[in-house]
Structure 1
Amino acid sequence: MSCSDRLLITRFAPHAQHLADALGKVGCFTIAQPLLTVVGLNESDTLDDFLSGQYDYVIAVSGNAVKYAQRSIHHNWPKAQYFAVGESTKASLTIATKQPVESPVSRFDSEGLLALDAFQDVDHKRVLILRGEGGRDLLENTLIKRGAEVDFFQTYKRVKLDLDGTYLVNYWQQASINGVIISSVEILNQLFVLVPKGYTSWLCGLTFYVPSQRVAEQAKLLGVENIILLPSLHTNQIVDFFHNN
């Protein structure tokens, strides 16, 4: 078993190392290097409204949103219709809520979620979005236009790690890294902030493996030419993808 990819994995810890270990078992050389970390937030007023069961629909946009919401919830999650942007987040949310969770079947982003039948008629529905601080506003704006009342439960914030970009990019070049797995726009942008300007052309020459059209579009804007969509951010599916290609 082997693969020709030599991959940089930029996911949050500990997911980056878990994926690196799994890919190593199918012959992929990997370097796990998280670029951001997360810190939990406490929005007690929103939490109280959530726990009182005031929302019809609850949407989780990331696994971290579920993880840090769970830390604030000390009993059962309230009854609601639950939704997740992607399959990995769906798995986490299903375990946390012990309730059915819907997610898109192909496009794993806000656009894919908004295409679900449940969100075509949301007039007078109360919707809560579980997300990190400063997340994307497309879900909120679109659902409000469709007649919903939308609130946020911001369960965490992203914090950049103190890293030496020059040292790291030289290390990556010496390791002949030729691909990078990116899990979000925020991580993508931070990678381009971290890597010094003189190495931008090298960075843009890598193959970028991304989970959604939105991340792909941002990568194109930054100058990346070779972009491949992953089937999902679930570790097993990523491993199958590289093992079978």
Structure 2
Amino acid sequence: MKPWRVLITRPAADSAVLAALLAEQHIYSSSLPLLDIQALPETPEQRSLMLNLDRYCAVIVVSKPAAVLGLQRLDQYWPQPLAEQHWFSVGAGTGRILADYGLSVSWPEHGDDSEALLALPKFLDTINTSDPRILIMRADVGRDFLAEQLRQRGAQVDFLALYRRRLPVYPTGTLVTRIQQEQLNGLVVSSEQGLRHLIELAGEAWPTLASLTLFVPSPRVARIAQELGAQHVIDCRGASNQALLNALNAHAAPTV
């Protein structure tokens, strides 16, 4: 059986961890980060949000960069975090960063998306107050589904934008050359923005690369990928390293 040879596209540090895990399983990977994380300067409005952190019944952290940068802000304004503050994350990786810091944090056991968090009983119990106020720590732009759903339920939602995600600058043809030279037969993206950056970097070559197997983290991203022309999409049912490994082991690599 032909082995998988995949392109991983997470930020450099995350890709290094994933590559080591795949290597242990004798799966070849090549790293080409498609998300460059740039911390944003703090604004007066953001400072006010942090100083009034105790007014929120729940704080949601949507990614690892948001967790790291959010904890830096927390150190600055709340060196002794409120014991009763409820923290939630969309995924286990993000949640563990918060838990290692000492926060009381919960996350869905199954699923790494907003839909899974909205179904989490502890989260629903936490926001079941007369005037729920929720803070979401995230990038400067992102999916608004979670906030929209919470507002429909009567919650006041504020955003704390901690970073921006940019496509790193690569020489023209880098993506195609990498795939051809290393004979890669699979592409891995961990978010919608990662998918869009992949297509942007591919440029005119995307119709050709779209025939490669594409691993995505959720049904929503799978649907978007198919709408954008991807022909063979595998939903990993999560953005974690283990979710990708499970998907690679569950599906045979193409024979040609």
The normalised TM-score by structure 1 is 0.89
CA contact (8 A) 2:234 2:247 kept: no
Number of residue pairs the alignment of both structures matches: 242
Match of 1:37 in 2: 36
Matched, 1:85 2:83: no
1:234 has 2:236 as partner: no
**Contact 2:215–2:244 under 8 Å retained in 1:** no
Report 1:1-245 matches (<5 A): 4-41=3-40, 42-52=42-52, 53-74=54-75, 75-78=79-82, 79-96=84-101, 98-117=102-121, 118-119=123-124, 121=128, 123-197=130-204, 199-239=205-245, 241-242=247-248
TM-superposed CA distance for 1:154, in Å, is 0.9
Offset at residue 64 of structure 1 (A): 1.0
Instruction: Quote how far apart the aligned CAs of 1:35 are.
Output: 1.4
Cα distance between partner residues in 2 of 1:64 and 1:207: 28
Cα distance in 2 between the residues matched to 1:160 and 1:237 = 24
CA deviation map 1:199-240 (0-9, x unaligned): 223221111111112211211111112222225333345445
Distance 1:4 1:91, change over 3 A: same
Quickly say closer, same or farther: Cα 1:43–1:95, change in 2 above 3 A: farther
Q: For structure 2, which runs of at least 5 residues remain unmatched after alignment? A: 252-256
> 1:65 corresponds to which letter in structure 2?
A
Could you tell me whether the CA contact under 8 Å between 1:122 and 1:143 is conserved in 2?
no
Q: CA deviation at 1:21?
A: 2.2
**Residue type of the alignment partner of 1:87:** A
Range with bigger deviation, 21-30 or 229-238: 229-238
Deviation digits for residues 3-25 of structure 1 (CA, Å, limit 9, x no counterpart): 71110000012111221122112
Amino acid at match of 2:50: F
Deviates more, 1:116-125 or 1:101-110: 116-125
TM-score (normalizing by structure 2): 0.85
State the Cα deviation string for residues 78-125 of structure 1 (Å, max 9, x = none).
3421111112112122223x1332222333211222222333745511
Alignment partners' CA distance in 2, 1:167 and 1:13: 16
Query: Hey, what's the Cα distance between the residues in 2 that align with 1:216 and 1:83?
Result: 25
Question: Residue type of the partner of 2:111?
Answer: R
